[in-house]
Structure 1
């Protein structure tokens, strides 16, 4: 079962892939990237001329104990990261 969050997170990357992130004051270490995809933002819904991209990662990560699956998103226009979803 997955839960949807949409919480802002702080992320450290290596070669554009997330390697660790802080969510709700806990540090998670990414054990492996399960999937990665990119979507273009809808240019007609935003005011500026550069619509940017949204980059998604589904990762296996852990705050030190048992690993879980998390979906992270990076928005190139806002340069912000979100934790979108977590699986039990």
Structure 2
């Protein structure tokens, strides 16, 4: 899976949204909380609704630093899908 994500990230033929989602999936597995934070920020700035499942998966990983959760929440808010609201209630 990791190899697939790396190939997707590096393939300039794929749309940037797909490449950023691959980056986020890889970053969420990396021990660097800063990297995961920045990836979540990028997804929020892109307002990519297809990233919602990946962002929600990160909310379930309690090994990450709270700053990552914060940025994931910000990204979900920036995407603005009402179906994300129950995650925070």
* TM-score range relative to shorter protein: under 0.3
Higher strand share: 1
More helix by share: 2
